[in-house]
Amino acid sequence: MQGETGAALRDRVAQHIQAIYHDSPLGASPEGLAAALLDIMRLPPEQAPPLQHVNHWNQCDAVLITYGDSLLGRDEKPLATLKRFLDENTDRLLKGVHILPFYPWSSDDGFAVLDYSSVNEALGDWSDIEAIAADYDLMADLVINHCSSRSLWFENFVKGQDPGRGYFFTADPGEDLSAVVRPRTSPLLREVETSEGTRHVWCTFSHDQVDLDFRNPEVLKAFVSIVRQYLDAGVRIFRLDAVAFLWKVPGTSCLNLEETHEVVRLLRTLVEHARPDAMLITETNIPNRENLSYFGNANEAHCVYNFSLPPLLLNTLVTGDCSYLKQWVMAMPPAQNGTAYFNFIASHDGIGLRPAEGLLSDEELDRLIQAMQRFGGHVSYRALENGESRPYEINIALFDALQGTVAGPDEWGLERFVCAHAVMLGLEGIPGIYLHSLLGTRNDYQRVEHTGHARSINRHQWDLDLLQEALADGDSSHSQVFRRLKALLAIRRRQAAFHPNATQFTLHLGTAVLGFWRQSMDRRQSVFCISNISREPQALNLMDINLIDSHQWMDLIGGEVYGSRDQQLELRPYQTLWITNLPDHC
């Protein structure tokens, strides 16, 4: 690999293209399309490849997830307000920021893109994006499966003009499409009158989100051009939105097809040659085994969203039983160097239930859904092959989701919420924290009523002045959440044992205490992460976690020093300990 030349790179890209288009007419040779893609990416004719299996992250990495207009200030565009808030309030504890689609859009809060090459004027402009990218690792969405039905591309598709003619996937409504897996209950095909007659356009998500047809190489070239533009604007991390649905073959599930995986491999090859520390993250809200397949052999996504974590951790904390979560943690394979899990427990979307399939029983899922509905949450559904529907996600703000247990609300909501984040921050992987979790934002029923969409419950827009007042009030839940989560982030970033690829082993401490052990890559530091996930005090003997007598151990969170390995502790409800032999070892 180290001796690869420009021609060899072209050959490698051509191999990707051959694998993608093996059954589709290209209109050009794979080598010709490869040369065109390299020209779009402005890759030098002779360029050494990047080093393989390199971790472009460490324990300092944590990513804030936010919409561009979640914070609204006076007399400035929201992107400028966002940067000012980050600069003045987060103490540089968040190395990265994922700004959800900041492009002009027509629906789905940005995920029906009108124009990939522009910044939504209501948010700011490219100079605002570049300013954020200059100080933070910027993650941007590559909304690659579909775009808006009101985009220029789709208007041109209807007219039979370029660019757009042949850009969208159509199907015969007479074909058997019953095997297609979808996250929605709306009809899959949308009838459209075009210059070439009636066409039935494929819509995986909504009729305003029309699916692109990557069988047409012009679509691939258009997206490679978009990638190049984002790199030029400072984007380092590309979130491949809904990528699992990308390639369609009627008669199949149209999910996770091999051509889709090959497109991801191609994009990785192009991106990592353009910027060696650039990263691809696949957003694949699907069952766990299928999700993990997007690592490939460390040649696809650098990171995959750990979609099973949110429902499993939520279930753990509202039932007081960590059995299912512990089984999953034990079964998760370590991410090899050059790859990492992207951990999150809340996002702009709901808490997905598909990633819990096969991990939680139907009875457990029903009990969880009922508890969330009692706490003010909504449930979204997806269509099954037989025409029935099945719960797809729970829509609720995480702070409200953790206000109680299956028995009902209680006084432990704040502690339970902080415990959830302490667990996530300790686990192998890179943590992503949703802005509204960092701020302890509650269910926004008014926004749901205004938009008519259940997901809006967790998409509140803060007036910055009101937010600053809430954060300045030391007794407010917002202030307490913000302060305590920042404290955990500050501790985490100083511990080498919390490197995203550091060793992890699960401890067996019963059903009410979740424990796992992290060890730094140089094997000098250990951290035992132990959480009482119940609302009853739990006894813990330090001998149970096999501490070494020759070391002095202390809790990084509470500061307590332990003088004897047979010391008996009592964990308060939802208390987390990070017990280490070598504090602040980086």
Q: Which residues carry a binding-site annotation?
A: 108, 146, 239-241, 348-349, 455
- Contact call for residues 433 and 63 (beta carbons, < 8 A): yes
Q: How far apart are CA 156 and CA 408, in angstroms?
A: 54
- Which residue of the set 208, 211, 241, 544 is catalytic? 241
Q: How far apart are CA 91 and CA 472, in angstroms?
A: 16
Q: Tokens standing for 132? A: 């954020």
176 is catalytic: no
Do strands 430-434 and 462-463 pair parallel, antiparallel, or not at all (unpaired)? unpaired
Q: How far apart are CA 349 and CA 314, in angstroms?
A: 15
Residue listed under structure tokens 């009523």:
449
| 27 Cβ contact list (under 8 Å, min separation 6) | 217
In DSSP terms, 462 is beta-bridged to 71
Write out 146-208 in H/E/C secondary structure.
EEECCCHHHHHHHHCCCCCCCCECECCCCCCCCCCCCCCCCCCEEEEEECCEEEEEECCCCCC
Q: How far apart are CA 135 and CA 92, in angstroms?
A: 9
The H or E element containing residue 340 is strand 340-343
Q: Alpha-carbon dihedral of residues 130, 133, 134, 135, nearest 10 degrees?
A: 140
Q: How far apart are CA 101 and CA 239, in angstroms?
A: 10
Q: Which residue numbers belong to the known binding site for substrate?
A: 108, 146, 239-241, 348-349, 455
3-state secondary structure of 378: strand
Q: Alpha-carbon dihedral of residues 345, 349, 351, 352, nearest 10 degrees?
A: -120
- Contact call for residues 397 and 351 (beta carbons, < 8 A): no
Tell me which residues are annotated as active site: 241
